[in-house]
């Protein structure tokens, strides 16, 4: 064994770490967290225990830092020449000395040293002994805990460890390989390697693994989205949970539960244990996040009711039928106030059989804007389908509302200003309640007596999706059993049109052919068409829904949100914000990109936005982007602004439920840079048989706010 390993073993033994092998340090509970920098204590103690000042390795590192940023060519060459003189089995010592300088030198300079070392290690990886590779990978992990997987030497080192494992098949080496493969998370190659590795070797070591070692394997598999079919492993996880006492670390418990849920193992006994555990233990502030995560792992969010008021129908049944048939709700605006505006088309709610004055009294209409009225109508339909009109105080206390409005009705503001010119007492006392964005949620809560979370969202065109996501979180965190979620919007007015026209956001080329104006992903798209309406979801916790035999329409699996941090009204050109929102939704749902069969895109029919979203889809889904179905229903109903994400989430839900992909109306010719995506154009298509039907719904708004929902058919 090399001098490095002997010293490391000595320190491990003296520091009281688990086991005597340096690689047993990988089993510490700290490795269950994302930050692995705790290993620095071990390395620093080791580094300081060796008289290194006069060693050649230390001089190389000191000189490399001293030579600033390596801009002079001769300095860089000098460092590289010295590096090549270092014996292969001493490269780890060189890394260790670099580590000792990490806290005292410019990290940019150190990173250049590491890159050069990475290149040198990668070049020599084939000639290294198994133990040398282990030493080097351990040092790299300390130096760059959050970027270690970007190093070529690590990827090739993992392959070297895998190839050499049959001759080095110890428990410690098994754990180390599991740990490193888990670092790559959902990288396809490493995920497949971990799945194969566990399938071949887990059964040999399962009985010798202690609690923390079991946790390491479970966490690595979870991060890599690898399912473990080994029933003995699942039994060990269950037993470990059931035997835990009140002093167990919360993160360890979360790790075990995550693994059981990910592997679709029956968690009935575990749930009882965890609930008992939570009831009988005070929650320190430091552990609140862990407890929230733990609760979320046990909660399944079902959709038990939906309702809508939209340009393609004032009920869910009508709207879905029209969406599948390719019906378009865009019309020409006849109000003379729009005549001088560049855009004169909109997607309006059909007024033939819909009149809110026949639904609400004059007194009620005084206190509510049209957006609030639409939200109340959609809520009534959703609650009726859900069969949820609780009368008991306990049930009302556990029912909440998360409904938003993207932007207030500017007609109200204009009329109030005109009234003010005649005197302040001519301004309606209901003016403020009509324009507050939280009043849709407030009116719903008041009407039905819901005293759970009363929450409102106003995040531009992501409002409705954020509202559903927030409602999803409220149930996950056990703050409610039922949440009424969604948004309403009624912003069609000359002033709002003028503002959006000044932004060059609205379509202006199809005023004489309104039904051709909204054309997501099409080459001739020139801006969005404004729409109006509302859509409401009733979300409900699984056991609560089952106890009352509620209708189950589908399930919300995950929710992700992000910020572009780029521009007031335009998304980032590289689509990073959209990419992160989708990625986080999938991670929240514990799914891989290839598990998704359909994306209901945000695509509003703008030249820039549609292309950027396509870019983000290609970036996240890779080759799978050409297989999954992508459509935007905005071609039929226009862009409902704050109520877009929730209405389109409704159509994504129905697509999962009925196995039909809704079409993208007016998509006749796809731009060249977007042809690698499988768009559903013109006519609806059937969802292929096979895997569980899973969809992603995107919604993005001004200010760079992004939301993605992961929606699926329900499978008991």
The 8-class DSSP code of residue 145 comes to T
Q: Which two tokens mark 414?
A: 């204009």
Largest Cα span, the chain: 93
Residue 361, Cβ neighbours under 10 Å: how many? 8
Sequence-distant (6+) residues with CB within 8 A of 18 are 24, 25, 27, 28, 210, 212
Looking up tokens 């390993």, which residue turns up? 5
Closest CA to 434 of 498, 497, 490, 370: 370
Closest CA to 222 of 581, 591, 624: 591
Strand stretches in 75-166, DSSP E? none
Residue 539, Cβ neighbours under 10 Å: how many? 26
Degrees, nearest 5: CA angle 103-104-107: 70
Degrees, nearest 5: CA angle 37-43-44: 95
Q: Is 602 among the residues known to form the active site?
A: yes
Q: What is the CA radius of gyration of the chain?
A: 29
Q: Which of 461, 561, 656, 710 is catalytic?
A: 461
d(CA 474, CA 450): 14
Sequence-distant (6+) residues with CB within 8 A of 241 are 253, 256, 257, 260, 270, 273, 274
Please state the φ and ψ torsions of residue 574, each to the nearest 5 degrees.
Answer: -85, 0
Looking up tokens 């196995």, which residue turns up? 659
Degrees, nearest 5: CA angle 344-350-356: 115
C-alpha torsion sign, points 395, 397, 402, 403: positive
CA distances, 123 to each of 119, 157, 329, 639 (Å): 6, 11, 63, 55
Question: Please, are residues 347 and 311 in contact by the beta-carbon 8 Å criterion?
Answer: yes
In 3-state terms, what secondary structure has residue 693? coil
In 3-state terms, what secondary structure has residue 381? helix
d(CA 123, CA 152): 10
Question: Residue 373: is it exposed, middle or buried by C-beta count within 10 angstroms (0-12/13-18/19+)?
Answer: buried
Sequence-distant (6+) residues with CB within 8 A of 202 are 217, 228, 230, 233
Q: Which two tokens mark 403?
A: 């409904």
Q: Which of 201, 343, 639, 656 is catalytic?
A: 639
Question: Residue 672: is it exposed, middle or buried by C-beta count within 10 angstroms (0-12/13-18/19+)?
Answer: exposed
Q: Is 639 among the residues known to form the active site?
A: yes
Looking up tokens 């206390």, which residue turns up? 397
Residue 246, Cβ neighbours under 10 Å: how many? 8
Label the pairing between strands 554-563 and 705-712: antiparallel
Q: Is 624 among the residues known to form the active site?
A: no
Residues with catalytic roles: 461, 602, 639
């Amino acid at each position: 064994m090399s001098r490095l390993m002997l010293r490391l073993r000595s320190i491990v033994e003296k520091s009281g770490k688990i086991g005597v092998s340096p690689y047993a340090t990988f089993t510490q509970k700290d490795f269950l967290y994302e930050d692995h920098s705790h290993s620095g204590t071990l390395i620093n103690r080791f580094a300081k225990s060796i008289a290194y000042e006069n060693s050649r390795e230390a001089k190389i590192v000191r000189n490399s830092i001293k030579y600033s940023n390596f801009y002079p060519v001769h300095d860089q060459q000098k460092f590289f020449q010295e590096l090549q003189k270092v014996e292969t089995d001493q490269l780890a010592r060189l890394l260790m000395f670099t580590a000792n300088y990490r806290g005292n030198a410019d990290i940019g300079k150190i990173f250049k040293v590491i890159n050069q070392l990475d290149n040198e290690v990668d070049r020599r990886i084939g000639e290294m002994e198994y133990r040398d590779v282990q030493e080097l990978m351990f040092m790299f992990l300390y130096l760059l805990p959050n970027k270690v997987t970007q190093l070529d030497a690590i990827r090739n080192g993992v392959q070297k460890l895998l190839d050499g494992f049959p001759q080095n098949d110890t428990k410690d080496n098994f754990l180390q390989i599991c740990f490193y493969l888990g670092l790559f998370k959902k990288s396809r190659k490493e995920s497949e390697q971990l799945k194969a590795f566990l399938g071949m070797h887990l059964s040999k070591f399962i009985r010798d693994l202690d609690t923390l070692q079991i946790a390491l394997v479970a966490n690595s598999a979870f991060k890599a989205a690898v399912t473990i079919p080994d029933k003995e492993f699942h039994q060990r996880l269950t037993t470990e949970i059931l035997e835990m006492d009140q002093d167990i670390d919360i993160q360890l418990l979360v790790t075990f539960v995550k693994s059981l849920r990910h592997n679709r193992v029956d968690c009935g006994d575990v749930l009882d244990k965890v609930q008992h555990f939570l009831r009988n233990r005070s929650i320190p502030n430091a552990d609140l996040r862990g407890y929230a995560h733990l609760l979320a792992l046990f909660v399944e969010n079902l959709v038990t009711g939906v309702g809508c008021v939209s340009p393609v129908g004032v009920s869910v049944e009508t709207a879905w039928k029209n969406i599948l048939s390719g019906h378009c709700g865009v019309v020409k605006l006849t109000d003379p106030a729009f005549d001088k505006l560049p855009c004169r088309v909109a997607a309006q709610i059909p007024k033939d059989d819909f009149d809110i004055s026949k639904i609400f009294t004059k007194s009620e209409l005084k206190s509510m804007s049209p957006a609030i009225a639409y939200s109340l109508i959609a809520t009534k339909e959703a609650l009726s389908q859900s069969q949820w009109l609780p009368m008991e105080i306990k049930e009302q206390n556990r029912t909440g509302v998360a409904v938003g409005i993207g932007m207030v009705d500017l007609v109200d503001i204009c009329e109030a200003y005109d009234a003010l010119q005649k005197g302040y007492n001519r301004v309606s006392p209901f003016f403020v309640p009509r324009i507050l964005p939280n009043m849709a949620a407030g009116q719903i809560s008041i009407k039905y007596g819901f005293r759970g979370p009363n929450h409102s969202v106003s995040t531009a065109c992501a409002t409705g999706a954020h509202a559903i996501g927030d409602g999803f979180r409220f149930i996950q965190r056990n703050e409610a059993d039922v949440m009424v979620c969604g948004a309403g919007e009624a912003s069609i007015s000359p002033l709002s049109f003028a503002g959006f026209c000044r932004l060059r956001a609205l379509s202006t080329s199809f005023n004489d052919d309104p039904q051709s104006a909204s054309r997501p992903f099409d080459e001739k798209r020139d801006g969005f068409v404004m729409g109006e309406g509302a859509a409401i979801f009733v979300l409900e916790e699984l056991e609560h829904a089952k106890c009352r035999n509620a209708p189950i329409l589908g399930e919300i699996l995950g929710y992700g949100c992000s910020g572009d941090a780029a521009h007031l009204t335009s998304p980032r050109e590289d689509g990073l914000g959209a990419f992160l929102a989708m990625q986080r939704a999938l991670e929240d749902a514990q799914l891989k990109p290839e598990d998704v069969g359909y994306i209901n895109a945000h695509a509003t029919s703008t030249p820039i936005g549609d292309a950027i979203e396509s870019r983000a889809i290609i970036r996240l889904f890779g080759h799978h982007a050409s297989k999954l179905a992508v459509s935007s229903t905005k071609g039929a109903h226009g862009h409902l602004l704050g109520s877009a994400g929730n209405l389109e989430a409704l159509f994504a839900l129905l697509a999962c439920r009925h196995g039909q992909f809704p079409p993208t109306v007016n998509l006749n010719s796809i731009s060249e840079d977007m042809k690698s995506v499988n768009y559903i154009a013109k006519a609806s298509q059937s969802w292929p048989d096979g895997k569980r039907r899973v969809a992603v719904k995107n919604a993005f708004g001004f200010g760079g706010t992004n939301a993605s929902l992961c929606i699926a058919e329900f499978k008991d």
